[in-house]
Amino acid sequence: MKTRGRIYFIVTTLLILFFSYVLVNGLTIGDYQVKPLSKIVKLGLDLKGGVYVEEEIVDKNVSKDTIERTRDLIELRVNSLGVSEPIVAITGSNRIRVEIPGIYDPKAALEQIGKTGRLRFVGPNNDEIITGKDVKDATVGVDQRTNAPVVQLKLNQEGAKKFAEATQKYLGKQIAIYMDEDLVSAPTVQSVIPDGEAIITGSKTVEEAKRLAGIIKSGALPVKLNPATIRAIGPALGAEAIPTSLKAATIGIILVMLFMLLYYRIPGLIADLALMVYMIITALIFTVALKATLTLPGIAGLLLSIGMAVDANVLIFERIKEELKLGKSLRTAIDAGFKRAFTSILDSNVTTLIAGFVLFFIGTGAVKGFALTLIIGVLSSMFTAITVTRFLLKSFVNAGWITSSKFYGA
């Protein structure tokens, strides 16, 4: 029994330390590589910086198909910005949420997303010549004479025919190009254009021309949008938030572990090992199983859950103490401690879960993310505090290194 207890305890402890090390530092064996957690976790916009926009569809009673089409069109436009991992998603019944990392100018982002994208070429008599529907492709080029960036349009067959007729009709006159209500440029027709190729001048920078081309190519949005929320998070904020949160987490966790060790001694040491298992499980569920995004409130939630995770162990150890004081043997006291603490662990955690689930199903955005942290935290802390602590504590007692019940709280 002694040998078995020792092997169980030592092997489990080594495994816990090994997994913690791998999650923090990663591991390479031959060609096979395990990335450290910090490389796997997806960071929320508040940690990496970017623009967050929630667009509300103004029109009433819009069909689901139309909302989905609008989302796809916005996705095309956002993708044309060329940033990595933008998010475009439908939230609620009539909103589209857009997250663009790496861009900090909300105005530029709004223009890219929110323009209904109605392109019109209008003649001098205010007659419509061609619209966005006649455009086959839009690319960015350079005006040979001025070196200024331009948008090159390739019209489809019908558009080319209409454009040829119009350039003949208005030779020497101005054609105005409108994007929604804005006059983009008003070039003078210098020659008849028969081949369906037109250019739009007036872009000040290549980026601006790229944006315009992106909007024209992705086509007009079927609905009118109104931004309900706009947030821009500067790059420095995230750069500062991550190291400060890490520092806070390290200090907080060390304090919790030290406290448990000093107050509860042997059981405290075991609770610390169980807490490490808790952190490993929670981290894996978050990053690998759910592929959840880490946000600032999420960090706060996780840290809170670490403080709470030892609660079940505190309940158990206090019970063990009481049993020892009644004069029971170490093994009996441990068994009784786990058994008698169970109902209070169960009832107190279920009430927290009730609140967590309500938040998860009713809350939106950050609240939902936080609720998820809460639920996962409660479930995995219940598991580790009961099973892992019990296994380790029993193995340790069986190992017979320290038999005096003084070190177990008596």
Partner 1 sequence: MERMFKICEKSKIWFSISLIIIIIGMATWLFKGLNLGIDFKGGTVVTIKIGKEFDVVELRKSLEKYDPQIDVREIEGYEVTIRSNKITTDEVNQIFNDVKTKYGLKDDALRSIDTIGPSIGKELRRSAIISTLLATLGILIYTSFRFELWSGLAAIIALVHDLLVTISVYTILQIPVNSSFIAAMLTILGYSINDTIVVFDRIRENRKLGKYHDFETLADASITQTLARSINTVLTTLFTITAIYIFGVPSIKEFALPLIIGILSGAYSSIFIASPLWVIFEKKQGQKV
Within 262-291, the residues that bind partner 1 by CB under 8 A are: 263
Conformational region of residue 260, where left means phi above 0, alpha means psi within -120 to 50, and beta covers everything else: alpha
For the bound state, the minimum distance from the C-beta of residue 371 to partner 1, rounded and expressed in Å, comes to 8
- Looking only at the bridges linking them, the beta strands covering 135-142 and 87-91 are unpaired
Tell me how far apart the alpha carbons of residues 329 and 323 are, in angstroms, rounded to a whole number: 9
Which listed range, 16-24, 231-239, 330-338, 388-396, lies at the site for partner 1 (CB under 8 A)? 231-239
Of 233, 274, 277, 376, the one binding partner 1 by CB under 8 A: 233
Question: Burial letters for 173-192: b for 16+ Cβ neighbours within 10 Å, e otherwise?
Answer: eebbbbbeeeebbeeebeee
Residue span 190-229 as binding mask against partner 1, x where in contact by CB under 8 A, dash where not: ------------------------------------xxxx
Measured from the CB atom, the residue of 56 and 192 that comes closer to partner 1 is 56
Tell me how far apart the alpha carbons of residues 186 and 126 are, in angstroms, rounded to a whole number: 13
Q: 57 φ, ψ to 5°?
A: -80, 120
For the bound state, the minimum distance from the C-beta of residue 136 to partner 1, rounded and expressed in Å, comes to 33
Residues binding partner 1: number (CB under 8 A): 76
Please count the other Cβ atoms lying within 10 Å of the Cβ belonging to residue 236.
10
Tell me how far apart the alpha carbons of residues 25 and 19 are, in angstroms, rounded to a whole number: 10
Q: Answer for the pair 83, 104: CB distance below 8 angstroms, yes or no.
A: no
* Strand runs labelled E in 180-270: 182-185, 197-200, 225-233
DSSP 207: H
Measured from the CB atom, the residue of 95 and 120 that comes closer to partner 1 is 95
* Chain centroid to CA 40: 12
Of 14, 236, 288, 326, the one binding partner 1 by CB under 8 A: 236
> Does residue 59 bind partner 1 (CB under 8 A)?
no
For the bound state, the minimum distance from the C-beta of residue 71 to partner 1, rounded and expressed in Å, comes to 19
For the bound state, the minimum distance from the C-beta of residue 384 to partner 1, rounded and expressed in Å, comes to 15
Structure tokens, 196:
């369906």
Residue numbers 307-336 binding partner 1 by CB under 8 A:
307-308, 310-311, 314-315, 318, 322
Which listed range, 10-18, 145-153, 175-183, 366-374, lies at the site for partner 1 (CB under 8 A)? 366-374
Residue numbers 100-129 binding partner 1 by CB under 8 A:
104-107, 110
Residue numbers 293-312 binding partner 1 by CB under 8 A:
296-297, 299-301, 303-304, 306-308, 310-311
For the bound state, the minimum distance from the C-beta of residue 290 to partner 1, rounded and expressed in Å, comes to 19
- Looking only at the bridges linking them, the beta strands covering 95-101 and 197-200 are unpaired
Measured from the CB atom, the residue of 237 and 285 that comes closer to partner 1 is 237
- Looking only at the bridges linking them, the beta strands covering 176-179 and 50-57 are unpaired
Of 11, 14, 183, 362, the one binding partner 1 by CB under 8 A: 362
For the bound state, the minimum distance from the C-beta of residue 363 to partner 1, rounded and expressed in Å, comes to 6
Of 188, 205, 332, 364, the one binding partner 1 by CB under 8 A: 364
Which listed range, 81-89, 144-152, 171-179, 359-367, lies at the site for partner 1 (CB under 8 A)? 359-367
Of 350, 400, 401, 403, the one binding partner 1 by CB under 8 A: 350
Please count the other Cβ atoms lying within 10 Å of the Cβ belonging to residue 61.
6
Q: Answer for the pair 101, 50: CB distance below 8 angstroms, yes or no.
A: yes
- Looking only at the bridges linking them, the beta strands covering 50-57 and 87-91 are unpaired
For the bound state, the minimum distance from the C-beta of residue 119 to partner 1, rounded and expressed in Å, comes to 22
- In 3D space, the residue among 95, 140, 92, 133 whose CA is nearest the CA of residue 113 turns out to be 95
Residue numbers 120-179 binding partner 1 by CB under 8 A:
none
Beta bridge partners of 149: 142
For the bound state, the minimum distance from the C-beta of residue 44 to partner 1, rounded and expressed in Å, comes to 11
Please count the other Cβ atoms lying within 10 Å of the Cβ belonging to residue 339.
12
For the bound state, the minimum distance from the C-beta of residue 394 to partner 1, rounded and expressed in Å, comes to 22
- Looking only at the bridges linking them, the beta strands covering 42-43 and 293-294 are parallel
Measured from the CB atom, the residue of 57 and 221 that comes closer to partner 1 is 57
Residue numbers 37-56 binding partner 1 by CB under 8 A:
46, 54, 56
Beta bridge partners of 294: 43
For the bound state, the minimum distance from the C-beta of residue 215 to partner 1, rounded and expressed in Å, comes to 17
Tell me how far apart the alpha carbons of residues 53 and 66 are, in angstroms, rounded to a whole number: 19
